Amino acid sequence: MLSKPIFIAGPCVIESDELLNEVACEIVRLNRKYHLNIIFKASFDKANRTSLSSFRGPGLEKGLQMLNDIKNKYNILVTTDIHESYQAQPVGEVVDVIQIPAFLCRQTDLLVAAAKTGKTVNIKKAQFLSGNDMQYPVDKVRKSGNGNVWLTERGNMFGYNNLVVDFRNIPDMKHFADVVIMDCTHSVQRPSSSNGTTGGDRKFVPAMALAAKAFGADGYFFEVHPNPETAKSDMANMLYLNQLETVIESLL
């Protein structure tokens, strides 16, 4: 049992240095106040956007440089996601945790490449898989020589353009993963429901976190933004940055 939960927080995608610094400053403040070690998250490339015209981010080289600057400037842990096997090695040189996107959690070459970096691999559960199905992605990482595997619950498909969370997945996944995280913001998405973008209901985020706590989650993932209405990705489900402290307090 962890002495304190794991927290992962940050904007959906790298938009600017200003955004990264604003969020990182708040994470540092919360780390000091609550004696935490919140992991900073932002994506250098959103390769699975609904529309071809949607903003994707600065790309691998520039994005990793920006994340490395944040890591060194604020002395915080960082994570980002990879979509291609070749990205694992350079990403592993910067981040502390490599995230595997839900849509790609069965991609063997991606999992093996992430495992070989030696970094903690956080695999997000696919929207089309049960919690018990995730033992196989975990097995791929472990058999590739890496025992540091986390799993993240983020809801399941529920008809068209909607998700539902079966919280039984959390204890199910804890049977074979050392750490199970609840993604409290992606789980309130309404995929592809908003004219070529993903919608969502951020008002349910605090309740998602508390429900996950009741089911034994080891940690919580929040995408946050100072002004989600202007965000370039996930604007409808991201939590306001100034609400993050209240939600964290409720979980401690």
pLDDT digits (tens, 9 = 90+) for 41-56: 999 987 776 677 677 8
Which has the higher per-residue pLDDT, 114 or 231? Answer: 114
Average pLDDT of span 189-205 = 71
Provide CATH code, domain 6-83+152-171+179-251: 3.20.20.70
Which has the higher per-residue pLDDT, 171 or 200? Answer: 171
- Six-digit token pair at 230? 């202007």
At residue 166, what is the residue type? Answer: D
pLDDT of residue 248 exceeding 70, the answer is: yes
Q: What percent of the chain has pLDDT over 70?
A: 95
Write down the pLDDT at residue 195.
56
Cα separation, 218 vs 241, whole angstroms = 22
Task: Report the residue count for the chain.
Answer: 252
Cα separation, 166 vs 208, whole angstroms = 11
Write down the pLDDT at residue 1.
57
